């Protein structure tokens, strides 16, 4: 067993690691369990093996202290709710009867019981399940998962550090439970929660844990004096415990700011801070508070959120400065490596020289180990690594891949008029009503329809050469006709073609735009078993040829009803990609906006009257601190308007957003100047409709009435009830009826039933408000 005294003078560590396995074994096992094809014991065996493989790989790559507890079947915040006993009343019987099935019921819901609300984890594309708390919440400790996983790592000979979501962040992420007053403050439950954390810490101490990491990323956001006092009291009380491991309080994603002196003075043994560019102020701030004398500092100098190689010389300079500010300095990534793919070395389709610019999780752990060795032994110990790193950085900086003079000339010629519709909304709305002739409370969907096994087989057959392109395209046409036929029979008013030709809403476009690199194995968890392959934005962006016009035009030829053109907006194209870090994001967004503008104009020229430009990432990309909001929202909304402002007044522009706190960006939603916006609203009980009304939002909106991230089928009565609630905030002449999000992850049986209920609800409520049913 590795002991504390035998560990290196400088530890290399990480806060978390990708959970899925090299071939997404976890996804397959969990979904197999849901379908009854995998037993609970087999699922647990797969999970145990994946954890062991991850720790083995980390150790082989030079990590000397591995994290435990970061693994999750679905979501680590949901795991925390289980750990503290915060199970909603509607799920308690299921959790009691079968903890594993009850756990998944909280995440996904059942036909009879709604799941927990889901939203974005800070400014990432990872989704967490929101804790539901109220004045009657009773917390109870269950450290089984944390102790078991720590024990597994220890039994395999690893020096391990359990990782928990910290109590302050947990309460700040929580919301009032259904039926609880909206003004209830979960932070008022701190005195009930801290004894539960004390019990878990004691259990981990008894299991042999030397250190425990408590993640407090919520403290990098703007916090009130009262919230900072809560943080101070929390760590004063936890620090005073006698039966506990040493405490490492971790923050990431931004600077700690006013929370730094609070934590620096707390009676804990260590802090973990982000020292990458977005949190660079932590260095000066740490010096200003006198450093961390007598404490451990884990320095996050390798970017855990992007995929570009580290600048070792810059990191060593930072680490050298930090040596004078703490009792010991260890090296880490800036945050959990959950947010990057597993291994760049397996990306054989990327040019080998370009691949040397990339660092996925395995490459980042090697970078961390190299920096730890350089810090402990001096730069002379890593001379070869430093030289190779300098060469790779220079190769990228001088590569023609990164610069296109024509693109830069076009963005340089943008004028204010390019980002404004030529007519005010009132004139456009009148023209669109006359052109489209839609009923009151028009129905539509968000874009994608179920991606069937037949579609996946067709793609596999095409890749394997079992069918040619013509054969594949005939299958796509057949799928489009089926989707259109179903929508027409169901009575949906504005149709979609279902996107059968698309693999992902970002990757599909990235593969057709210059400047992007696509990966084959670069999977990253978005939520639960939903994984995406974010493309890599390496150079200047342009559109060589139309991307969606052919299939949209084909769909419109099959029907007299309007078919929406479907595009992913510029902010989401950036947010759900690994963006270049060598120029301002706003400049890249303008390039993407102009490329998409060409597509919008071509769709209109081909006869498309309704064009949707999705921006689900607008809120998630909002900087965590208010002082960065204005600049971000200015370029974000400008890039959307660059995309959409070249069309005629009768062409209706839609946008879509989901799973975020929209109240923070209502003015920005207004500034997009879209004619119609559809938003996720079912899990949040139409909260966004109220927020739009309070703002005085003047255009049309479709707050969702079907939570598509749950397998349950809402009844027509449920959808009608939500629709009536929406009408309390938005007048009928401006209200649309739609699901929360696209239907790609749903099956056809639940899609058919749910959309039939949605249309039935629209007809019922339409009759109530005086429109033709």
pLDDT at 530: 93
pLDDT-derived band of residue 660, with 50, 70 and 90 as boundaries? low
Strands (E), 94-186: 118-120, 127-129, 132-133, 160-165, 175-176
Q: Locate all alpha helices (DSSP H) within 134-189, ordered by sequence.
A: 144-155, 167-173
Q: Tokens 């749950």 identify what position?
A: 710
Q: Which of 60-64, 273-277, 458-462, 659-663 has the lowest mean pLDDT?
A: 659-663
Q: Reply yes or no on whether the pLDDT at 62 is more than 50.
A: yes
Contact 20, 531 (CB under 8 A): yes
Q: Which two tokens stand for residue 460?
A: 């596999």
Q: What is the pLDDT of residue 451?
A: 87
Q: How open is the CA angle 306-172-659, to the nearest 5 degrees? A: 55
Query: According to the model, what pLDDT value does residue 636 have?
Result: 97
pLDDT value of position 659: 65
CA separation for the pair 73, 530 (Å, rounded):
12
Residue 149: C-alpha distances to residues 76, 388, 487 (Å): 13, 37, 48
Phi, psi (deg, nearest 5) at residue 171: -70, -35
Q: Give 468-514 pLDDT, tens digit per residue.
A: 999 999 999 999 999 999 999 999 999 999 999 998 899 999 999 99
pLDDT at 8: 54
**pLDDT tens digits, one per residue of 558-587:** 999 999 999 999 999 999 999 999 999 999
> Quick one: which H or E segment has residue 107?
helix 99-108
Single out the residue of 158, 152, 148 nearest to residue 1, CA to CA.
158
C-alpha torsion sign, points 598, 602, 604, 608? negative
Instruction: Name 407's bridge partners.
Output: none
* Cβ-proximal residues to 106 (8 Å cutoff; 6+ apart), any chain: 78, 81, 87, 88, 91, 95, 115, 116, 129
Which two structure tokens, joined as six digits, stand for 400?
């023609």
pLDDT per residue as tens digits for the range 514-537:
999 999 999 999 999 999 999 999
pTM listed for this prediction: 0.91
**What distances in angstroms separate CA 329 from CA 270, 370, 371, 445, 513, one per listed residue?**
10, 14, 11, 53, 43
**38-53 burial, b if ≥16 CB within 10 A, otherwise e?**
beeeebeebbeebbee
Query: If you ran DSSP here, which 8-state letter would residue 135 be given?
Result: T
Nearest to 577 by CA among 500, 656, 509: 509
Asked whether the predicted pLDDT for residue 656 surpasses 60, the reply is yes
Q: Tens digits of per-residue pLDDT, 259-286?
A: 999 999 999 999 999 999 999 999 999 9
- Asked if the model's pLDDT at residue 4 lies above 50, the reply is no
Could you tell me the pLDDT band of residue 745, with boundaries at 50, 70 and 90? confident
**Contact, 467 vs 461, CB < 8 A?**
yes
Q: Which of 229-238, 350-359, 706-715 bottoms out in mean pLDDT, i.e. has the lowest?
A: 706-715
C-alpha span between 721 and 738 (Å, rounded): 14
- Model pLDDT, residue 772: 63
Sign of the CA dihedral running 74, 77, 80, 86: negative
Please calculate the CA angle 425-431-434 and round it to the nearest 5 degrees: 140
For the cut 50, the answer to whether the pLDDT of residue 5 exceeds it is: no
**pLDDT for residue 685:** 81
Distance CA 389, CA 399 (A): 16
pLDDT over 50 at 40, yes or no? yes
Cα distance between residue 743 and residue 749, in whole Å: 12
Mean pLDDT over 394-403 rounds to 94
Tens-place pLDDT, residues 315-325? 999 999 999 99
Q: Which two tokens stand for residue 418?
A: 């390019």
Concerning whether 497 is annotated as a catalytic residue, the answer is: no
3-state helix, strand, coil in the chain (%, to 5): 50, 15, 40
Q: Describe the strand order of the beta sheet including 610-614 as a list of residue ranges.
A: 564-568, 610-614, 652-657, 676-679, 700-703
Residue with tokens 């179903």: 486
- pLDDT value of residue 459: 84
Parallel, antiparallel or unpaired: strands 530-532 and 524-527: antiparallel
Please report, for residues 224, 475, 486, 746, the alpha-carbon distance to residue 453 in angstroms, rounded to integers and kept in the order given. 51, 12, 18, 12
Burial class (CB in 10 A: 0-12, 13-18, 19+), 102: buried
Q: Which of 101, 208, 194, 82 is nearest to 145 (CA)?
A: 82
Q: What is the pLDDT of residues 618-631, one digit of tens each?
A: 998 999 999 999 99
Q: Please classify residue 544 by burial: count the beta carbons closer than 10 Å to its beta carbon, then call 0-12 exposed, 13-18 middle and 19+ buried.
A: exposed
Best CA proximity match to 483, nearest among 546, 559, 560? 559
pLDDT over threshold 80, residue 590 = yes
Strands (E), 25-152: 66-68, 118-120, 127-129, 132-133
Residue 73 has pLDDT above 70, yes or no: yes
Task: Report the pLDDT averaged over residues 609-613.
Answer: 98
Please provide the DSSP assignment of 349-406 as one string: TS-HHHHTTB--HHHHHHHHHHHHHHHHH-GGGGHHHHHHHHHHHHHHHH-GGG--HH
Structure confidence at residue 773 (pLDDT)? 62
Encoded tokens for 623 = 């900087």
pLDDT value of position 523: 97
pLDDT of 543 > 80? The answer is yes
pLDDT for position 690 = 92
Q: What is the mean pLDDT of the chain?
A: 95
For residue range 95-113, list pLDDT tens digits in order.
999 999 999 999 999 988 9
Average pLDDT, integer, range 304-318:
98
CA 551 to CA 556: how far, in whole Å?
9
Among the options 158, 654, 709, 757, which is catalytic?
A: 709
Does the pLDDT at position 7 exceed 60? no
d(CA 350, CA 517): 8
State the DSSP H helix or E strand holding residue 489, giving kind and residue range, or none if neither.
Answer: helix 469-490
């Amino acid at each position: 067993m590795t002991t504390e005294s035998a560990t290196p003078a400088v530890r290399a560590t990480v806060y978390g690691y990708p959970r899925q396995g090299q071939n997404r074994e976890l996804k397959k096992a969990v979904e197999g369990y849901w379908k009854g094809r995998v037993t609970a014991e087999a699922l647990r065996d797969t999970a145990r093996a994946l954890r062991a493989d991850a720790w083995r790989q980390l150790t082989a790559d030079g990590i000397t202290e591995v994290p435990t507890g970061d693994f999750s079947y679905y979501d680590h915040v949901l795991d925390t709710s289980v750990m503290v006993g915060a199970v909603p009343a509607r799920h308690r019987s299921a959790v009691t009867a079968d903890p594993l099935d009850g756990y998944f019921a909280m995440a996904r819901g059942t036909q009879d019981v709604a799941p927990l609300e889901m939203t974005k984890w800070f400014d990432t594309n990872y989704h967490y399940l929101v804790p539901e708390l109220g004045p009657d919440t009773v917390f109870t400790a269950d450290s089984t998962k944390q102790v078991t996983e720590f024990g597994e790592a220890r039994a395999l000979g690893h020096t391990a550090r359990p990782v928990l979501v910290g109590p302050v962040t947990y309460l700040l992420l929580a919301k009032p439970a259904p039926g609880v007053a909206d003004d209830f403050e979960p932070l008022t439950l701190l005195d009930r929660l801290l004894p539960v954390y004390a019990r878990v810490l004691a259990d981990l101490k008894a299991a042999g844990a030397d250190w425990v990491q408590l993640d407090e990323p919520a403290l990098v956001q703007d916090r009130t004096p009262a919230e900072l006092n809560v943080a101070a009291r929390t760590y004063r009380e936890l620090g005073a415990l006698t039966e506990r491991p040493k405490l490492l309080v971790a923050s990431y994603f931004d600077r700690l700011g006013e929370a730094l002196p609070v934590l620096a003075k707390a009676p804990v043994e260590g802090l973990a801070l982000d020292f990458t560019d977005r949190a660079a102020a932590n260095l000066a701030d740490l010096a200003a508070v006198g450093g961390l004398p007598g404490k451990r500092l884990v320095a996050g100098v390798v970017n855990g959120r992007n995929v570009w190689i580290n600048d070792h010389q810059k990191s060593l300079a930072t680490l050298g400065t930090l040596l004078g500010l703490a009792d010991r300095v260890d090296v880490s990534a800036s945050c959990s490596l959950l947010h990057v793919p597993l291994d760049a070395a397996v990306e054989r389709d990327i040019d080998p020289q370009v691949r040397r610019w990339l660092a996925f999780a395995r490459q980042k752990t090697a970078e961390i180990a190299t920096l730890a060795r350089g810090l402990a032994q001096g730069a002379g110990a890593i001379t070869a690594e430093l030289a190779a790193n300098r060469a790779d950085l220079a190769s990228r900086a001088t590569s023609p891949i990164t610069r296109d003079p024509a693109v830069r000339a076009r963005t340089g010629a943008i004028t204010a008029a390019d980002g404004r519709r030529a007519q005010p909304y009132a004139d456009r709305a009148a023209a669109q009503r006359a052109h489209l002739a839609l009923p009151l409370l028009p129905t539509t969907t968000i874009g994608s329809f179920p991606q069937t096994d037949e579609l996946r087989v067709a793609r596999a057959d095409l890749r394997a050469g079992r069918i040619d392109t013509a054969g594949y395209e005939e299958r796509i046409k057949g799928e489009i006709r089926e989707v259109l036929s179903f929508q027409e029979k169901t009575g949906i008013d504005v149709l979609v073609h279902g996107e059968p030709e698309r693999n992902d809403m970002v990757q599909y476009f990235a593969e057709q735009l210059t400047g992007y690199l696509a990966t084959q194995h670069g999977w990253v968890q978005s939520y639960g078993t939903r994984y995406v392959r974010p493309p890599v934005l390496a150079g200047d962006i342009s559109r060589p040829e139309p991307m969606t016009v052919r299939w949209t035009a084909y769909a419109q030829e099959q029907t007299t009803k309007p078919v929406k053109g479907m595009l992913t907006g510029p902010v989401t194209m950036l947010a759900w990609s690994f963006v270049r870090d060598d120029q301002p994001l706003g400049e890249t967004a303008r390039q993407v906006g102009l490329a998409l503008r060409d597509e919008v104009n071509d769709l209109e020229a081909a006869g498309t009257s309704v064009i949707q430009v999705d921006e689900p990432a607008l809120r998630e990309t909002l900087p965590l601190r208010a002082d960065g909001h204005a600049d971000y929202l200015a370029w974000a909304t400008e890039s959307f308007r660059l995309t959409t402002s070249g069309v005629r007044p009768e062409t209706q522009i839609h946008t879509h957003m989901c799973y975020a706190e929209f109240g923070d960006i209502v003015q920005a939603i207004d500034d997009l100047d879209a004619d119609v916006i559809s938003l996720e609203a079912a899990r949040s009980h139409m909260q966004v409709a109220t927020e739009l009304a309070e703002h005085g939002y003047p255009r049309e909106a479709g707050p969702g009435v079907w939570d598509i991230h749950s397998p349950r089928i809402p009844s027509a009565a449920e959808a009608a009830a939500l629709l009536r609630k929406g009408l309390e905030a938005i007048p009928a002449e401006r209200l649309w009826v739609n699901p929360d999000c696209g239907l790609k992850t749903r099956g056809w049986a639940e899609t058919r039933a749910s959309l039939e209920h949605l249309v039935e609800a629209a007809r019922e409520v339409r009759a109530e408000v005086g429109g033709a049913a």
